[in-house]
């Protein structure tokens, strides 16, 4: 906990002077004031988060955290638990959606085993940080012990510290874990007081019967565990997941290290929401890649106080939406770096 407190103490508000100065630079470019809309916002925020007049986005990394979930025992998912490990191998071979879109964005995908119920041995390319072989079934008791939850948080924080040491300029969150929309729905329900029905959707595409099982399992889990909405770590421990905890840690660590973070969809935002509940300035360091089809995602985004960049009907996860949003964030930074001013172009300004 002391390490977490240290990280929280390093998260600061954005420098309003730096935001204003960057906007003033953009206002001198050969365009009507504000005419590049949110691209200008992205550029201003990148400068203010990083503290660099010209942010260097040469190194972009998407972390795809993988973990299994005991809640799958309740029949809440379309796919068996074994698919989590199978998809990890697909990520490592470069064949998944996030791999394709990360290549498009010029980003590296780093796959982290934080809680898969599979022995990967010394599998090359995988970041081995297994805390446990999956979470417990939160419909019957706490998803994790407090020590497991804190250990998974630290995985994310340590990876953020490593990014700082490597000079990574932009980080994206991603995940893989069969059943993980259930803990994500439970987290937003617990924190917001919204009903389970309001925040729970069909995940990978389950039918009516499985949806009924999912609603019942989440409702039972909240009733049994009684997570304290005033204590986000209690919520995370009781109804969360190991990859969700690692994402929360990554977001916190990046904010402390002044590295901007692009959060992906519903599950990634569950992790970011926990982080945002722990620190009031955390949201300033976040970019919301998109609004997911998952109905609970909008409530998460509203609670954090962030506006999604894209709305493409996405619901894959893995970091796919984050990869796409990275291209637009980087476009804003390139406008700042490469677009001529009125004076440079010899164009009459204002």
Catalytic residues: 318
Check if the beta carbon of residue 78 is closer than 8 Å to that of residue 203. yes
Query: What integer best gives the mean pLDDT of the chain?
Result: 97
Read off the pLDDT band of 350 (50, 70, 90).
low
Average pLDDT over residues 255-262: 98
Asked whether the predicted pLDDT for residue 103 surpasses 80, the reply is yes
**Residue 42 half-sphere exposure, CB side, CA atoms within 13 Å?**
27
DSSP 262-289: EE-SHHHHHHHHHHHHH-TTGGGGEEE-
| pLDDT tens by residue, 218-241 | 999 999 999 999 999 999 999 999
The per-residue pLDDT for 23 is 98
Asked whether the predicted pLDDT for residue 287 surpasses 90, the reply is yes
Average pLDDT over residues 248-275: 98
Pairing mode of beta strands 286-288, 60-67: unpaired
The pTM of this model reads: 0.98
Could you tell me the two tokens for 345? 């172009």
Average pLDDT over residues 254-280: 98
Distance of alpha carbon 20 from alpha carbon 65, whole angstroms? 36
Check if the beta carbon of residue 134 is closer than 8 Å to that of residue 242. yes
The per-residue pLDDT for 203 is 86
The per-residue pLDDT for 204 is 81
**Residue 341 half-sphere exposure, CB side, CA atoms within 13 Å?**
10
| pLDDT tens by residue, 36-45 | 999 999 999 9
Check if the beta carbon of residue 284 is closer than 8 Å to that of residue 141. no
3-state helix, strand, coil in the chain (%, to 5): 55, 10, 35
The per-residue pLDDT for 83 is 97
Check if the beta carbon of residue 283 is closer than 8 Å to that of residue 261. no
| pLDDT tens by residue, 53-83 | 999 999 999 999 999 999 999 999 999 999 9
HEC per residue, 158-170: HHHHHHHHHCCCE
The proportion of the chain whose per-residue pLDDT surpasses 70, expressed as a percent, equals 99
Alpha-carbon torsion (54, 15, 307, 202), positive or negative:
positive
Distance of alpha carbon 247 from alpha carbon 250, whole angstroms? 5
| pLDDT tens by residue, 24-35 | 999 999 999 999
Read off the pLDDT band of 1 (50, 70, 90).
confident
Alpha-carbon torsion (144, 64, 264, 306), positive or negative:
positive
* Helices 146-166/2-9 angle, 10° precision: 40
> Which stretch of DSSP H or E encloses residue 114?
strand 108-115
User: Residue for token digits 């204002």?
Assistant: 350
More confidently predicted of 30 and 350:
30
Rg (CA), the chain: 20
> Which stretch of DSSP H or E encloses residue 97?
helix 97-105
Distance of alpha carbon 79 from alpha carbon 203, whole angstroms? 10
Q: What are phi and psi of 232, to 5 degrees?
A: -60, -30
Q: Hey, what domains does the chain have and what are their CATH numbers?
A: 2-54+336-345 (1.10.1610.10), 60-329 (3.40.50.10210)
Which residues on adjacent β-strands are paired with residue 262? 172, 287
Asked whether the predicted pLDDT for residue 303 surpasses 90, the reply is yes
């Amino acid at each position: 906990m002391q390490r977490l407190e240290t990280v929280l103490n390093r998260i600061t508000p954005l420098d309003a002077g730096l935001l204003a100065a960057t906007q003033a630079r953009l206002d001198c470019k050969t365009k009507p004031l504000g005419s590049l809309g949110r691209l200008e916002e992205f550029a201003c925020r990148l400068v203010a988060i990083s503290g660099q007049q010209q942010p260097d986005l040469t190194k972009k990394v998407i972390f795809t955290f993988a973990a299994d979930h005991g809640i799958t025992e309740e029949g809440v998912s379309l796919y068996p638990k074994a698919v989590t490990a199978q998809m990890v191998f697909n990520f490592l071979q470069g064949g998944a959606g996030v791999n394709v879109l990360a290549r498009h964005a010029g980003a590296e995908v780093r796959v982290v085993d934080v809680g898969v119920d599979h022995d990967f041995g010394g599998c090359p390319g995988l970041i081995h940080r297994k805390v446990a072989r999956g979470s417990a079934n939160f419909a019957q008791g706490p998803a994790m012990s407090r020590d497991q939850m804190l250990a998974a948080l630290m995985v994310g924080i340590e990876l953020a510290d490593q990014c700082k040491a490597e000079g990574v300029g932009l980080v994206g969150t991603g995940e893989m874990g069969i059943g993980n929309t259930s803990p994500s729905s439970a987290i937003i329900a617990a924190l917001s007081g919204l009903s389970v029905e309001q925040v729970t959707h069909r995940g990978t595409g389950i039918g009516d019967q499985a949806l009924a099982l999912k609603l019942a399992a989440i409702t039972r889990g909240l009733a049994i565990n009684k997570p304290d909405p005033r204590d986000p770590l209690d919520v995370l421990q009781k109804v969360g997941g190991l990859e969700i905890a690692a994402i929360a840690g990554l977001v916190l660590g990046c904010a402390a290290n002044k590295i901007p973070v692009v959060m992906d969809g519903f599950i990634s935002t569950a992790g970011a929401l926990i982080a945002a509940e722990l620190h009031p300035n955390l949201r300033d360091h976040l970019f919301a890649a998109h609004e997911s089809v998952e109905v609970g995602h909008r409530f998460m985004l509203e609670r954090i106080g962030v506006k999604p960049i894209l709305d493409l009907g996405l619901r894959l996860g893995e970091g796919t939406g984050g990869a796409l949003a990275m291209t637009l964030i980087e476009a804003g930074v390139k406008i700042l770096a490469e677009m001529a001013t009125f004076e440079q172009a010899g164009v009459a300004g204002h």
